[in-house]
Amino acid sequence: MNSLHVSRVTRHASAFTLVELLLVLVLLVVVTSMVAPAMSNFIRARALGSEARRLSALLHAGQSRAVSEGLPALLWVDEKKGAYGLTTETPPEGGDAKAEELPLDENLQIAVLSLGTAGATTFQNLPAIRFLPDGTVDENSPQTLRLTDAKGNALWLAETRNHMGYEIRDTEK
């Protein structure tokens, strides 16, 4: 019986008490409440960068599509609706089966800056970037797009100097 009594004492001594468990839970709540605001700011900042990369990928896809299909491709931007998309300039009969429309993250805003001259490129009365079949950007296309989050942080997608595409910048210039 002594061996049975010793094993019960050993097993009982290694267990946690209710007070210790509550103390650990309180500590976890305090740490979580301190870390949560920083994490939400981090997630919002990632949304801005992620949206800029997604828009950049669609710009590259539009350029590639214009070259491969031999038709001008348009990347249009709807600032009010918070959306952007890609289509060919002259869709085949029945519409463009490869056309895409992507919603903007709800915490972000998009703006078209640096519009060209009076003959600015548009698609259904929306500003648009026009990719020509030779892979260049039409001179009447917007030169800059700006993505802004709720705190005013911004990223710009600006036309490259050789007019062959757009790049993500963290400053307007």
Q: Model confidence over 120-149: pLDDT tens digits?
A: 888 888 999 999 999 899 988 898 999 998
> Would you say residue 2 lies in a domain?
no
> Would you say residue 37 lies in a domain?
no
- Residue 75: pLDDT band (50, 70, 90) is very high
Written as six digits, the tokens of 163 are: 């007019």
Average of per-residue pLDDT values in the chain: 84
Domain coverage including residue 83 = 47-169
d(CA 96, CA 98): 5
- Residue 103: pLDDT band (50, 70, 90) is very high
What residue type is 136 in one-letter code? Answer: T
Number of domains in the chain: 1
Q: Answer whether residue 118 shows pLDDT above 70.
A: no
> Would you say residue 165 lies in a domain?
yes
Closest among 43, 121, 116, 54 to 84, alpha carbons compared: 54
pTM comes to 0.71
The CATH number for 129's domain is 3.55.40.10
What's the confidence (pLDDT) of residue 42?
67
> Would you say residue 29 lies in a domain?
no
